[in-house]
Amino acid sequence: MDKTIEWKDDCSLMVDQTLIPFEYKKIKIKTSKEMYNAIKTMIVRGAPAIGIAGAHGMCLAAKELYEENNFIKKLLEKAQYLNSARPTAVNLSWAINEQKKVIENNKNETPKKILNALIENAIRLENEDILINKKIGDFGASVVPLGAGILTHCNAGALATVGYGTALGVIRSAYKKDSSISVFADETRPRQQGARITTFELVRDNIPVTLITDGMCSYFMKKGMINFVVTGADRIAANGDSANKIGTSTIAIAASYYNIPFYIAAPKSTIDMSIKSGNDIVIELRDENEVKIINGKSVCAEGTKVINPAFDITDSGLIKGIITEYGIFKPNELQKIFS
């Protein structure tokens, strides 16, 4: 696949992921408000891709403001605005902070030069993301058993990143070594990222994939058809507790019961050492209609109450290892990455 998101023609060019699998279409995001909405409405999704979107959003904001007075002050206000689009994925604040460092390092330069420096840094982060994901994939492939039946949840693939993917990066690298592996993808209610996006990616790559519903994992684990699990993450606390798409914790509990290794694949930028445990991670609550409405029609009685958390926390004790671009670490070893 080509890049999911890239700075091109003085704007952010990204795949509209709300259209997949029916249409693979790229759209141009030309303003910081459009970028906020793209992140909020999940036109762009997946923690690493959201991070790059935030970096691009800062470039767009600088383009809008560089001829105005109090340029830096207003630009930093835009940073706060963009960062509020989605609270759980730490890559968004990480990338925006990387852009804020550029602003600080160039504060005595002209607004035009700051804009150019922001664009240069955004493109650097973009290109680094693909290299990071390939390293994650290769490290992860080293622990995938021959002929494994691999379960993944949500989409942590090329479309959740700039390219290649984290959890799907592991699967891609494993498949290159061993074409006898098979993949199970959870549908991932309520927005169906597994059904819509993960299967789309794997079918395009000619990697065998079987779609299952979210409640089926223990059935296939008990039958011995799933013996390895790898997912992505949106934020990892210092103790290894990991926030990922709702339903991930359930899979980890089932994997633990059946003694199946459960791995998280994520870049260093997803690890938030300022947060001690998963108890401190803010979980995004989304619109109840994502659960209640299917194909434009309500699937429940009028007046039914719905709570729709987008993520859950997988306790570190359920995680065999966290696969990063620096290697594979036990949840209590994450400090080594920052040493």
Catalytic site residues?
234
The two most distant CA atoms of the chain are separated, in Å, by 66
Question: Facing residues of 183 across strands?
Answer: 150, 209
Nearest to 324 by CA among 332, 313, 334, 311: 334
- Residue 257 CB coordination number (10 Å): 11
Q: Do 137 and 157 touch, CB atoms closer than 8 A?
A: no
Instruction: Please report which helix (H) or strand (E) contains residue 184, including its range.
Output: strand 182-186
Q: What is the DSSP letter of 284?
A: P
Q: What is the DSSP letter of 145?
A: P
- Position of tokens 């925006």? 96
> Which amino acid, residue 140?
G
Q: Do 161 and 123 touch, CB atoms closer than 8 A?
A: no
Spatial separation of the C-alpha atoms in residues 90 and 241, rounded to whole Å: 14
Q: Do 83 and 92 touch, CB atoms closer than 8 A?
A: yes
Question: At 296, phi and psi to the nearest 5?
Answer: 80, 0
Instruction: Please report which helix (H) or strand (E) contains residue 126, including its range.
Output: helix 111-141
- Residue 173 CB coordination number (10 Å): 23
> Which amino acid, residue 102?
V
Give just the sign of the alpha carbon dihedral 195, 196, 198, 200.
Answer: positive
172: its two tokens: 């891609």
Spatial separation of the C-alpha atoms in residues 13 and 5, rounded to whole Å: 6
Q: What is the DSSP letter of 233?
A: -
